[in-house]
Amino acid sequence: MEIFDVIVIGGGPGGYNAAAYASANGLSVLLFEKDELGGVCLNEGCVPSKTLLNSAKVLNGFLHGKDFGVEFTGEGRIDARAVVDRKNRVVKRLVAGVRSKLKSAGVTVLKEKAYIEKKEGEFFKVSGTSSAFLSKYLIIATGSHAFIPDIEGMGEAVENGFALTNKEILNLTEVPGKLLIMGGGVIGLEMADYYNAAGAEVTIVEMLPKIAGATDNAVSAVLKKALEKKGITFLLGTKVTKIKNGAVTVSDDDGERDIAADKVLVSVGRRANVSGSGIENIGLSVEKGAIVTDEKMRTDVKNVYAVGDVNGKVMLAHTAYREGEVAVNDILGKNDAMNYGVIPSVIYTYPEVASAGYTAEEAIAAGINADEISLSLMYSGRYIAENTDYTGIMKLVYDKDEKTLIGASVAGSYASEYIVAVSDLINLKVPLERVKKLVYPHPTVCEVIREGVFEIKQ
């Protein structure tokens, strides 16, 4: 039986990055991926959704050209088939990129489903479809799947294609007339923005009183207003209680009613993939449906690590990348640990929404002597030059005792790109007085960060 230092199960961002990093550091690595390399993120998540959203952005530029003194002739519209074809080409190119990264790093890749058989002495025995292998270390990176709530009629609706998940919604070459979206979280909002641009009548049903989960209330409100202006309908404080072809039943304080729909997107969260890979054969602990890990990504079984969505901590691809590196560093005997505190998150709608660290509410609830400052993005000349409706805002949260930034939330252009500037200031605990001495390029929207720091009264 062939022996490797490390067997990685799952070729998504957590798994492939860990595999390449381990191999580049001199370990022999076998990576199992039963489907396509790149996992959900590359094939049916982050990347394809951004490709679709970019087409919506291009159309938006066309439709609003007049606001910028540009006139187009003809009618702008999304050709869903062409958008999906382009998305497929983008995904193919990136999957090939992952394959060549792994090849040049010297990772052995098997397109097979892995099953952990048992621990044999100091080795783990993992079988593929035709052979079994041994390894000293295991990295489990099996990802997550869309959660399908147990609602009357849901099983049948999923089976006959009336209800879709993140996977199928990215491949519709015909735009549904009426799209009902269950869940006003990240996936629901991004897909609402694209399908609204593509011509669907979109309704988002969200059980909470606000959209975008833990996002700052004011920032979430800016996003909601912008999406409403584009024609998206929100039913907040509302739950889907029944689903049958052509309609869903929703319930709120006023009781139940039916809403017509041609398709339903189910985007009410994700669940870790903890079954089917044999983790029970080595006695891994699972809590709240996810593999239990510590800050070094160790599970409770020696030499077994779990990275990415499967540990249920922060289900974001960029978290998974870092977790993979932390796990490998632990294997290599290098001191490293995850810091989950300031991981930036982005909603790639138009306007973009980005957050890092605490909201003021969260900071105060955590016992921090915190305050916040709210600024219009109109502090930025570039923002004014490139926009026509000036609704964008940035909130900065700071620790009054430590005199450092501890959180940021933004709604507006380029937020996805410059949120990292604030999250670095937070992470590195840069004193506010020091931030004032940093030079930001002009004109950029991120100058608002520096403006905001100057507005803070200390």
The answer to whether 199 contacts ligand NAI (rule: CB under 6 A) is no
Query: What does the DSSP 8-state code read for residue 152?
Result: B
The answer to whether 182 contacts ligand NAI (rule: CB under 6 A) is yes
The answer to whether 380 contacts ligand NAI (rule: CB under 6 A) is no
The answer to whether 186 contacts ligand NAI (rule: CB under 6 A) is yes
Q: What are phi and psi of 61, to 5 degrees?
A: -60, -40
How many Å apart are CA 127 and CA 86, to the nearest integer?
Answer: 37
Q: What is the DSSP string of 294-339?
A: -TT-B-SSTTEEE-GGGG-S---HHHHHHHHHHHHHHHTT------
Q: Are 454 and 427 in contact (CB under 8 A)?
A: no
Judged by CB under 6 A, the number of residues near ligand NAI is 27
Judged by CB under 6 A, the residue of 33, 44, 193, 206 near ligand NAI is: 206
Q: Are 269 and 185 in contact (CB under 8 A)?
A: yes
User: Between residues 210 and 382, which has the closer beta carbon with respect to ligand NAI?
Assistant: 210
User: Between residues 30 and 151, which has the closer beta carbon with respect to ligand NAI?
Assistant: 151
From 268, 171, 180, select the one nearest 232 (Cα to Cα).
180
The answer to whether 216 contacts ligand NAI (rule: CB under 6 A) is no
Give a three-class secondary structure readout of 404-431. Answer: EEEEEEEECCCHHHHHHHHHHHHHCCCE
- By CB under 6 A, which span of 95-103, 178-186, 283-291, 325-333 interacts with ligand NAI? 178-186
The answer to whether 320 contacts ligand NAI (rule: CB under 6 A) is no
User: Between residues 116 and 180, which has the closer beta carbon with respect to ligand NAI?
Assistant: 180
Q: How far is the CB of 241 from ligand NAI (least distance, A)?
A: 8
Q: Are 152 and 163 in contact (CB under 8 A)?
A: no
The answer to whether 183 contacts ligand NAI (rule: CB under 6 A) is yes
Beta-bridge partner residues of 233: 203
Residues with Cβ within 8 Å of residue 100, at least 6 apart in sequence: none
How many Å apart are CA 378 and CA 349, to the nearest integer?
Answer: 20
Q: How far is the CB of 108 from ligand NAI (least distance, A)?
A: 30
The answer to whether 149 contacts ligand NAI (rule: CB under 6 A) is yes
Judged by CB under 6 A, the residue of 51, 135, 329, 345 near ligand NAI is: 345
How many Å apart are CA 419 and CA 94, to the nearest integer?
Answer: 24
The answer to whether 239 contacts ligand NAI (rule: CB under 6 A) is yes
Judged by CB under 6 A, the residue of 37, 205, 264, 406 near ligand NAI is: 205
How many Å apart are CA 426 and CA 453, to the nearest integer?
Answer: 12
Window 270-309: contact mask with ligand NAI (x via CB under 6 A)? x---------------------------------------
Judged by CB under 6 A, the residue of 188, 344, 357, 392 near ligand NAI is: 188
| Binding residues for ligand NAI restricted to 11-50, rule: CB under 6 A | 45
CA–chain centroid gap for 104, Å, is: 28
From 311, 282, 446, 443, select the one nearest 377 (Cα to Cα).
446
Query: Is 64 a catalytic site residue?
Result: no
Q: Are 65 and 71 in contact (CB under 8 A)?
A: yes
Q: How far is the CB of 272 from ligand NAI (least distance, A)?
A: 11
The amino acid present at 231, given as its one-letter code, is: G
Judged by CB under 6 A, the residue of 96, 208, 332, 365 near ligand NAI is: 208
Judged by CB under 6 A, the residue of 310, 346, 363, 448 near ligand NAI is: 346
Q: How far is the CB of 40 from ligand NAI (least distance, A)?
A: 8
Judged by CB under 6 A, the residue of 90, 207, 214, 384 near ligand NAI is: 207
Among all chains, which residue has been given the structure tokens 């099953």? 115
- By CB under 6 A, which span of 28-36, 220-228, 328-336, 342-350 interacts with ligand NAI? 342-350
Q: How far is the CB of 277 from ligand NAI (least distance, A)?
A: 21
Beta-bridge partner residues of 8: 31, 139
Q: On the CB side of 237, how many CA atoms lie within 13 Å of its CA?
A: 5
User: Between residues 41 and 327, which has the closer beta carbon with respect to ligand NAI?
Assistant: 41
The answer to whether 366 contacts ligand NAI (rule: CB under 6 A) is no
Q: Are 114 and 282 in contact (CB under 8 A)?
A: no
- By CB under 6 A, which span of 70-78, 204-212, 280-288, 388-396 interacts with ligand NAI? 204-212
Q: Are 344 and 48 in contact (CB under 8 A)?
A: no
Beta-bridge partner residues of 94: none
Structural element, H or E, at residue 222: helix 217-229
Q: How far is the CB of 279 from ligand NAI (least distance, A)?
A: 21
- By CB under 6 A, which span of 107-115, 131-139, 154-162, 265-273 interacts with ligand NAI? 265-273
Instruction: Kindly list the residues in this chain that would bind ligand NAI in the complex (CB under 6 A).
Output: 45, 149, 182-188, 190, 205-208, 213, 239-240, 267-270, 315-316, 345-348
The catalytic residues are 442
